[in-house]
């Protein structure tokens, strides 16, 4: 009699346990862990299976019960597979939603803005900061002749052809994908109308991009781009050296401290436009659309010189005499500004 009661109690307990297990398993896919709205960036490494992924999610406090998560995945799919990558997940997401996110590969999106005038090296540093590339691989591929040719670019590197814009990438996109996307954007902007214009000018696309890159680095304001372009075209027409500081800065980019020394003007490089006439062999930056248009449509002016006014603008001159007067004027102002700055710093330090 006692044994019968004991067996009955055990059976009741087992039935309740099974019922509870089934109920929890039934509710589990639709029940978030908690109300924590914080988004967490979760990395699922390559080769990670369902079980391992479940433990990663538990450790990151995104789900509970790794066994239930694994069972849920197997019930919902005959061959459950998750895609490695970087995800943005929250504890307020239901486990089934989390699994579907991992199954679809709905990766975390990185929005990267490439500023106009950035060099290839600066772009590489920016993407490296976002952990989107291996810098060495990126730069090597950007100089790979076959890869460059496959993108429809007739140059020795992709400098100048990585169009400045805001891009959407995911971790693991890869160096090739990122470079291809930027060059594709360049092709979208450099339309057939642009190509016809380069033909009219008897310039190659590469030469236009070189000019545009110099315009981009010299002119900070949109209204001056056409004027700078006019100076470049006029000097080329007269076979005068371009004498553009940014072309030299490009050569010494890694060591440049913000001050261009006279010794740098003697550097023996085809990019030294003080020493060598004509265009440098390649672009010195990646120009935007305005700079490209300015390179193709220079202002109708006879300017041959310009000097910085120290306020982000330039004074343009038609003769060397005018230019020297402008240099003296603004160099004098610059010296006065430096003197005033030193006096202010001296007062501040007291």
pLDDT at 347: 33
pLDDT of 29 reads: 83
Average pLDDT over residues 263-269: 90
Q: Which domains are seen in the chain, by residue range?
A: 29-104 (3.30.1490.480), 109-189 (no CATH), 220-303 (no CATH), 305-350 (no CATH)
Task: Mark 48-74 as b/e (b = at least 16 C-beta within 10 Å).
Answer: bebeebbebbeeeebbbbbebbbbbbe
Strongest mean pLDDT among 18-22, 73-77, 225-229: 225-229
Closest CA to 303 of 234, 238, 242: 234
Q: Which pLDDT score, from 0 to 100, does residue 310 have?
A: 77
Report residue 168: phi and psi, to 5°.
-115, 115
| Overall average pLDDT of the 185-209 stretch | 97
107-130 pLDDT per residue, tens: 999 999 999 999 999 999 999 999
Residues 6 or more apart whose CB falls under 8 angstroms from that of 312 comprise 220, 221
What 3-state DSSP class applies to 183? Answer: helix
Please state, in angstroms and rounded to a whole number, the distance separating the CA atoms of residues 166 and 181.
11
Helices (H), ranges, 162-201: 175-189, 192-200
- Report the range of poorest mean pLDDT among 3-12, 69-78, 172-181, 258-267: 3-12
Higher pLDDT, 71 or 294: 294
Confidence of residue 194 (pLDDT cuts 50, 70, 90): very high
CB atoms within 10 A of CB 293: 19
Query: Which tops the pLDDT comparison, 65 or 232?
Result: 232
**Percent of the chain topping pLDDT 90:** 69
* pLDDT bucket at 346, cuts 50 / 70 / 90: very low
- Angstrom CA distances, 195 to 114, 160, 201, 210, 335, stand at 24, 16, 10, 15, 45
Residues in contact with 52: Cβ distance below 8 Å, sequence separation at least 6, in sequence order: none
Report d(CA 349, CA 326) in Å as an integer: 35
Q: Is the pLDDT of residue 257 over 90?
A: no
232 in Cβ contact with 296 (< 8 Å): no
Residue 342 pLDDT > 70:
no
Confidence at residue 25, expressed as pLDDT on a 0 to 100 scale: 60
Q: Which two tokens mark 280?
A: 């440098």
Specify the higher pLDDT residue, 329 or 53: 53
- Mean pLDDT, the chain, rounded, equals 89
Q: Which residues pair with 110 in a beta bridge?
A: 169
Q: What pLDDT does residue 309 have?
A: 86
What confidence score (pLDDT) does residue 344 get?
34
In this prediction, residue 78 carries a pLDDT of: 78
CA distance linking residue 277 with residue 272, whole number of Å: 9
Instruction: Please compute the mean of the pLDDT values over residues 225-252 and round it to a whole number.
Output: 96
Residue 111's DSSP bridge partners are 168
CA dihedral 268, 270, 272, 273 (to 10 degrees): 140
In degrees rounded to 5, what are phi and psi of residue 173? Answer: -55, -40
71 vs 150 pLDDT, higher one: 150
């Amino acid at each position: 009699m006692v044994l019968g009661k004991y067996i009955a109690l055990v059976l009741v307990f087992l039935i309740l346990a099974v019922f509870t297990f089934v109920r929890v398993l039934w509710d589990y896919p639709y029940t978030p862990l908690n109300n924590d709205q914080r988004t967490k960036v979760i990395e699922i490494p390559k080769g990670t299976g369902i079980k391992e992924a479940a433990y990663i999610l538990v450790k990151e406090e995104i789900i509970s019960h790794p066994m239930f998560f694994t069972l849920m995945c197997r019930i919902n799919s005959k061959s459950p597979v998750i895609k490695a990558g970087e995800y943005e997940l929250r504890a307020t997401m239901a486990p089934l939603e989390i699994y579907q996110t991992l199954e679809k590969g709905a990766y975390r999106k990185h929005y990267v803005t490439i500023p106009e005038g950035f060099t290839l090296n600066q772009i590489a540093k920016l993407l490296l900061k976002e952990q989107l590339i291996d810098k060495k691989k990126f730069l090597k591929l950007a100089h790979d002749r076959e890869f460059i040719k496959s993108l429809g670019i007739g140059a020795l590197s992709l400098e100048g052809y990585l169009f400045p814009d805001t891009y959407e990438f995911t971790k693991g996109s890869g160096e090739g994908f990122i470079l291809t996307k930027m060059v594709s954007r360049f092709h979208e902007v450099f339309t057939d109308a642009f190509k016809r214009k380069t033909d009219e000018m008897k310039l190659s696309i590469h030469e236009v991009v070189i000019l545009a890159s110099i315009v981009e680095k010299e002119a900070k304001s949109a209204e001056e781009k056409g004027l700078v372009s006019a100076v470049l075209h006029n000097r080329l027409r007269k076979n005068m050296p371009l004498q553009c500081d940014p072309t030299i800065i490009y050569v010494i980019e890694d060591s440049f401290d913000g001050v261009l020394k006279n010794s740098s003007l003697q550097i023996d490089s085809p990019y030294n436009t003080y020493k060598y006439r004509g265009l440098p062999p390649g672009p010195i930056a990646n120009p935007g659309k305005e700079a490209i248009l300015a390179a193709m449509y220079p202002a109708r002016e006879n300017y041959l010189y310009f000097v910085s006014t120290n306020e982000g603008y330039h004074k343009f001159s038609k003769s060397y005499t005018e230019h020297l007067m402008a240099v003296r004027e603004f160099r004098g102002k610059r010296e006065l500004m430096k003197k005033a700055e030193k006096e202010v710093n001296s007062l501040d330090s007291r």
